[in-house]
Amino acid sequence: MMPAVHDIDLDAYLDRERRHVDAALGRVLDDGLNGAPAAVAEPVRYAVGGGGKRLRPILCVAAYTAVRADDDGVVPAAMYELAASLELIHGYSLVHDNLPCMDDDDVRRGRPSTHRAFDTPLAVVAGSAMIPLACRTAARAARALSLAEPTVSALVRELCVAAGAGGMVGGQVADLEAEGRQLDADELASVHRRKTGALLTAALRMGGLAAGAGPAQLAALDAYGRSVGLAFQIADDLLDVTGTEEVLGKKAGRDSDLAKATFPTLLGVEDARRRAEKEVDAALAAIEAAGLSSRELDALARFTVERDR
Ligand code: GRG
């Protein structure tokens, strides 16, 4: 009998993928920080470490393998390096987001945030160094995958556009401007789509592009990324209400401390949960329609809402 599409040992899969991503990050940092002053290299290594979920790189590789479903299933090491470029952008965003002039958080991933472990100037420097390192990593990895130059450019463009003013940075500014203001659910979804969703969607699209996905497959990965990105952020809002610092590895209750609009405050906890589940269903329907269903993409979509941290 064929296994059900969601029939996967999620913990074992995530552990294995995290190990591949961490190994790729190690290679990328050894190379990229070679010759860098210790004052930069140490906070960068600290910021990248610390046991994040590595969700963005794992999604990137899962999109690649879904498109390459007819291959032998072996993922080249350079593919994990391409995926690591997303984690570098994500890592920088966490360092800068935690700064006193932003969300002012002392704890991240269960230990002092980078500016608390070092100091604010070094955290600004480390986060800034991670952005060009991410772009260089994406370009080098794409060339190591022997992709054609237009695809190399498209991959770097995906990463930069998602991280930029129309994506993550724009979402962060909209989020800061919204503090203490009453947003409706559509406005809130628009903030989340840029702040969190843009990079998650880029992860899916980059995996697809590297695998040679056609336009219909890319559109399906895009739709999956948008829905999973929103579901992920709703789950994040819910965990902020229901989670504890011990499990989350960061302070709980920050959204209400900062008077932030969230899905649980707008819709109530139960409806927010239902909205996240609806987004997961939409994500799975999009990839199914394009023939891209896979156990991994199925499990990852469910993980975004069922996780406890
Ligand atoms: C200069 C305006 C300006 C912005 C800089 C700081 C910044 C760019 C963007 C912040 C956006 C941000 C921090 C988005 C991420 C939100 C989020 C849900 C983080 C948690 O991600 P997880 O759960 O974390 O994947 P781990 O630790 O598992 O990697």
* 236-248 per-position pLDDT tens digit: 999 998 877 777 7
First to last CA, the chain: 34
Q: Is the CB of 57 under 6 A from ligand 1?
A: no
Taking the C-alpha atoms of residue 270 and residue 272, their distance in angstroms, rounded to an integer, is 5
Given this model, what pLDDT does residue 6 score?
54
Q: Is the CB of 144 under 6 A from ligand 1?
A: no
Which of the 8 DSSP states describes residue 4? Answer: P
Q: Which of 234, 240, 276 is nearest to 256 (CA)?
A: 240
Which ligand 1 atom minimizes the distance to the CA of 171? 11
Cβ contact 58:13 at 8 Å: no
Given this model, what pLDDT does residue 3 score?
39
Q: Is the CB of 248 under 6 A from ligand 1?
A: no
Q: Is the CB of 50 under 6 A from ligand 1?
A: no
Rg (CA), the chain: 18
Which ligand 1 atom minimizes the distance to the CA of 99? 6
Cβ contact 272:189 at 8 Å: no
Report residues of the chain scoring pLDDT below 50: 1-5
Given this model, what pLDDT does residue 251 score?
77
> Does the predicted model carry a pTM greater than 0.85?
yes
Taking the C-alpha atoms of residue 72 and residue 198, their distance in angstroms, rounded to an integer, is 30
List the residue whose alpha carbon is closest to atom 29 of ligand 1: 52
Tokens of 295: 């156990």
Give per-residue pLDDT as tens, 75-84: 999 999 999 9
Given this model, what pLDDT does residue 257 score?
73
Q: Which of 107, 94, 60, 87 is nearest to 244 (CA)?
A: 107
